[in-house]
């Protein structure tokens, strides 16, 4: 199954993607993780992207696209994929259709995880990520519950950036809900509740 995840920052897209890939073996393609990887590696692309990310803005389409294309060329994509963080505006959605079309692939469904913005601000400010494996959890953990690695707070999870990311989502990304509705691919789940409850709803909504 080829899936696109939609939802505001902090809606739980990454968490649900981690669970789906662990159970069903699709490739988890997070453009945010790809960009953070480029920053950590100190590539020119990473350096250019960092300023946009720290400001809570979108990174220019062509930078993200080059990372995405490279990732889509990997073997594990044959088992299906979950796109987490792409597309993030209408131009990217149109590009994605073209890129997948060239590969003889298509998006099967766009899963919208919806959560009240007030809850999102609390979740994001408590979110922590693992330096070693990228796993995300919250500030109740001292070390990564998956690999024992050191946890850190992403630069863009600082309060001053969170509101900008939510605004960017509302103006640029939320219109994609209508885009995928128009393709008859939108599936919506309530992102409120604990991780396993949401996951059960996700699987039911996707018929998995
Ligand atoms: P979240 O969805 O929780 O905000 P991500 O890790 O998906 O976190 O993205 C972090 C940042 O990376 C975004 O705020 C944006 O600056 C950049 N980014 C990720 N994906 C894209 C994309 N498809 N297009 C442009 N910028 C992106």
Residue 188 has pLDDT above 90, yes or no: yes
Q: Does the Cβ of 9 fall within 6 Å of ligand 1?
A: yes
Binning the chain into helix, strand and coil, the percentages to the nearest 5 are 55, 15, 30
Q: How far is the CA of 53 from the centre of ligand 1 (A)?
A: 7
Q: Calculate mean pLDDT across residues 159-180.
A: 95
| Segment 83-126, tens digit of pLDDT | 999 999 999 999 999 999 999 999 999 999 999 888 899 989 99
Q: Is the peptide bond before 140 cis (omega within 30 degrees of 0)?
A: no
What does the mean pLDDT of the chain come to?
95
Nearest protein CA to atom 3 of ligand 1, as residue: 9
SS3 at position 37 = helix
The bridge status of strand 186-190 relative to strand 27-30 is unpaired
Residues assigned a catalytic role: 13, 88, 127, 154, 165
Pocket perturbation via mutation, ligand 1, pick of 85, 130, 138 by most ligand atoms within 8 A of CB: 85
Residue 11 has pLDDT above 90, yes or no: yes
Q: Does the Cβ of 186 fall within 6 Å of ligand 1?
A: no
Residue 208 has pLDDT above 90, yes or no: yes
Sorted by sequence, the CB contacts under 8 Å of residue 41 that are 6+ apart come out as none
Transcribe 90-103 into DSSP letters: HHHHHHHHHHHHHT
Q: Does the Cβ of 53 fall within 6 Å of ligand 1?
A: yes
Q: Does the Cβ of 92 fall within 6 Å of ligand 1?
A: yes
Yes or no: say if 110 and 119 are a contact pair by the CB < 8 Å rule. Answer: no
Residue 159 has pLDDT above 90, yes or no: no
Is 40 buried (19+), middle (13-18) or exposed (0-12) by CB count in 10 A?
A: exposed
Beta bridge partners of residue 5, listed in sequence order: 84, 111
pLDDT band at 63 (very low <50, low <70, confident <90, very high): very high
Q: Calculate mean pLDDT across residues 20-43.
A: 96
Residue 137 has pLDDT above 90, yes or no: yes
Q: Does the Cβ of 15 fall within 6 Å of ligand 1?
A: no
Nearest protein CA to atom 23 of ligand 1, as residue: 86
Q: Does the Cβ of 64 fall within 6 Å of ligand 1?
A: yes
Q: How far is the CA of 31 from the centre of ligand 1 (A)?
A: 6
Q: Calculate mean pLDDT across residues 172-188.
A: 98
Percentage of residues in the chain having pLDDT higher than 90: 92
Residue 177 has pLDDT above 90, yes or no: yes
Q: What is the model's pLDDT at position 131?
A: 93
Q: Answer left, alpha or beta for residue 181, where phi above 0 means left and psi between -120 and 50 means alpha.
A: alpha
- pTM for the complete prediction? 0.90
Distance CA 103, CA 137 (A): 34
Q: How far is the CA of 180 from the centre of ligand 1 (A)?
A: 19
């Amino acid at each position: 199954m080829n899936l696109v995840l939609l939802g505001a920052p902090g809606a739980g897209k990454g968490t649900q993607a981690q669970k789906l890939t662990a159970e069903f073996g699709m490739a988890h393609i997070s453009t945010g993780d790809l960009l953070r990887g480029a920053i950590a590696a100190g590539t020119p692309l990473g350096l250019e992207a960092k300023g946009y990310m720290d400001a809570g803005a979108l990174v220019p389409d062509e930078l993200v696209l080059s990372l995405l294309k490279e990732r889509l060329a990997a073997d594990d994509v044959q088992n299906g994929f979950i796109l987490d963080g792409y597309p993030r505006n209408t131009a990217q959605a149109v590009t994605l259709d073209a890129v997948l079309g060239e590969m003889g692939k298509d998006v099967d469904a766009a899963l919208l995880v919806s959560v009240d913005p007030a809850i999102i601000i609390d979740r994001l400010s408590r979110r922590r990520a693992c330096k070693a494996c990228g796993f995300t959890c919250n500030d109740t953990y001292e070390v990564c519950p998956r690999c024992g690695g050191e946890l850190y707070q992403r630069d863009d999870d600082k309060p001053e950036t969170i509101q900008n990311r939510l605004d960017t989502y509302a103006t640029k990304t939320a219109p994609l809900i209508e885009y995928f509705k128009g393709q008859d691919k939108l599936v919506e789940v309530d992102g409120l509740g604990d991780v396993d409850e949401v996951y059960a709803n996700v699987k039911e909504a996707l018929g998995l």
